[in-house]
Amino acid sequence: MVFIQQVLVLIAWLIGVVVRRVLKNRMTMSTASATLTGLAGLWGGLVIAGWIFDSGDLWKPGMIGVAALVALVVVIVVSLIAAYLHPRPGLDPISEVARHGESDSLEFKSSARWNMRSGKRDDAMETVIAKTVAAFMNSGGGTLLIGVDDEGRLIGLGPDYATLKTPDADRFELWIRDLWGQRMGTNAATLPRLDFAEATDPQDGYERQDVCRVTIPPSPRPVYLRGPKGKGEAELWVRVGNSTRRLEVVDAVQYVSTRWPESVRVSPWTRVRLLALRRREVPTRLPGVVERVLTERERSILPASEEE
């Protein structure tokens, strides 16, 4: 049964990739959404195929063919409906955006996982990408261009693509959303929008030379960054001018209470931890408990004897 599910997921993913390539700019669904829609279409197609062929054998070529055809139609129809209901807002060409130079809402990165200096894959590069996206979400939003150097040249994602099993934009998007999901949580990973354009100053020795634009909206709740594979202490990153900064505990508490007051929840344990941190006066790294920080208003609820 597990093997059958894996095969169906693979077929659904292939259908989603085909539809994305056919519809191109009209496609507003992500690869993950298209895959899930294709999977639902496959199961529905298998039911229809079983009724047509009066058979429960999933491996009959006719059964698989009918199911795949139904799934293809479902993905196309759902994609067109999604594009009609949620059209993409107009975006300037990536080459035009890159000419503006970096700012508090625009950041350039040459790669997402390849260290240009050492000439090999580097996990630290992935962390930088995750930090930047988290910081934009915790601030006013912004745009991240990956495959663009500091001078604004569109050098492409050739080295990054070379580290993937399938060197193309769809696989890159799957990988980077998985990275965000591990480091920031699944909900946050769905917020950014990705689109790609051809590199105008491609690097030598690589076939595919795309540039990725990540359009990042402000998050409706705090986004905390964790270490590789979702481990380690949570950290709150924000944009300060043209840079990305990590906030210390007390600063993070104040920032969250001001920006997202409705997201704050108080617990007795949180009060104890906060009071202990205030008395230590030397905040270190952001603990996980700060995900439920006190607001300034809620701190005033504490008895006067507990205040410093």
Q: Which residue has the tokens 């193309």?
A: 168
Cα 275 to Cα 258, 285, 293, 294: the distances in Å are: 19, 16, 12, 11
Are 109 and 154 part of one and the same domain?
yes
Crossing angle between the packed helical segments 31-53 and 2-23, to the nearest 10 degrees: 120
Question: If you average pLDDT over residues 192-207, what whole number do you get?
Answer: 86
Residue 297 has pLDDT above 60, yes or no: no
0.75 cut: is pTM over it? no
Question: If you average pLDDT over residues 196-217, what whole number do you get?
Answer: 87
Burial class (CB in 10 A: 0-12, 13-18, 19+), 159: buried
Domain boundary (24, 53, 85) is at: 85
Residue 293 has pLDDT above 80, yes or no: no
Are 31 and 151 part of one and the same domain?
no
CB 155, CB 202: distance < 8 Å: yes
Residue 204 has pLDDT above 70, yes or no: yes
Are 55 and 143 part of one and the same domain?
no
Structure tokens at 235: 């950290």
What is the DSSP-derived secondary structure letter of residue 285? S
Report residue 87's pLDDT band, with 50, 70 and 90 as the boundaries.
low
Q: Which residue has the tokens 């508090």?
A: 104
Residue 294 has pLDDT above 70, yes or no: no
Q: Which of 170-174, 230-234, 268-272, 298-302 has the lowest mean pLDDT?
A: 298-302
- Most confident among 12-21, 66-75, 293-302 (mean pLDDT): 66-75
Q: Are strands 210-216 and 193-198 parallel, antiparallel or unpaired?
A: antiparallel
Are 50 and 26 part of one and the same domain?
yes
Structure tokens at 47: 């039911």
pLDDT in tens, 89-128: 657 888 889 998 999 999 999 999 999 889 899 999 999 9
The whole-chain average pLDDT of the chain stands at 82
Are 59 and 128 part of one and the same domain?
no
CB 58, CB 43: distance < 8 Å: no
Residue 203 has pLDDT above 50, yes or no: yes
Sheet bearing 210-216, strands edge to edge: 106-109, 142-146, 210-216, 193-198
Check the CA dihedral 109-156-142-172 and report its sign.
negative
Q: Which residue, among 246, 30, 228, 290, has the nearest Cα to 132 in the 3D structure?
A: 246
273, amino acid identity: R
Q: Which residue has the higher pLDDT, 231 or 87?
A: 231
Report residue 268's pLDDT band, with 50, 70 and 90 as the boundaries.
low
Are 125 and 180 part of one and the same domain?
yes
Structure tokens at 154: 């569109």
Task: Report yes or no on 231 lying in a domain.
Answer: no
- The CATH number given to whatever domain includes residue 105 is 3.30.950.30
The pLDDT of residue 213 is 95
Domain boundary (53, 85, 117) is at: 85
Which structural domain, as residue segments, surrounds residue 272? 248-306
Domain boundary (85, 103, 134) is at: 85
Domain count, the chain: 3
